[in-house]
Amino acid sequence: MTSFFLRLLLPLVLGLAAPAIHAAGADTRPIMLVLGDSLGAAYGVPAERGWVALLQKRLDAAGYPARVVNASVSGETTAGGLARLPALLERHRPRWVLIELGGNDGLRGLPLTRLRDNLRQIGALSRAAGATPIYFEMRIPTNYGADYADGFAASFGEVARALKAPLVPFFLAEIATDPASFQDDGIHPTAAVQDKLLDAVWPTLRRVLAAGASR
């Protein structure tokens, strides 16, 4: 009796699973993996209104065949991103890795040598997996002194130059001095300015995509 029911159910199970398998394999666009913190995870903002979701819409509208995978986690550090990256690279096999990390390291006063080392390793792992690392410059207030803040901001450009990788200039620059652009915590941008964040990221991504298309 048991074998009878197994034979009866097996086609139903396979029939239900087949569409999901087909759907997962149907999208062959190269992957753009976003490895970020709360800014990438759209903290306090509906996910569909965050700049990462808007990035997918802009790529589609501009005719760039890329699929965005958002692996951002609120509170993430460069060490946490580095620890998660191998599994993400194995699972998604991205062509580009957007490295929007470091802000939480700076707010915790992480030694800059460790910050730069983590960033280098993230870029090196991405390159070894066949992906182009794209760094995001980050800045922090001068809570730990001007020397630390200046060295922190410079770290992203230093690592990007060392790896000959693209660098997105500080993408909060346009809104950084406008309190109305931030939620009540004074840290996370509101939904209303997510398009401005994307506008700051887009020129670098467009150059990277154009360079890849011309090869």
Question: Helices 146-162 & 112-128, crossing angle to 10 degrees?
Answer: 20
Measured distance CA(44)–CA(61) in Å, rounded: 26
User: Do β-strands 31-36 and 96-100 pair in parallel, antiparallel, or remain unpaired?
Assistant: parallel
**Closest C-alpha among 138, 203, 147 to residue 171:** 138
Catalytic residue among 22, 27, 184, 185: 185
Catalytic residue among 38, 72, 126, 155: 38
Question: Within a 10 A sphere around the Cβ of 8, how many other Cβ atoms?
Answer: 9
**H/E element, 10:** helix 2-26
The answer to whether the beta carbons of residues 44 and 183 sit under 8 Å apart is yes
Active site residue 38: yes
Catalytic residue among 74, 92, 117, 188: 188
Active site residue 147: no
Tell me the catalytic residues. 38, 185, 188
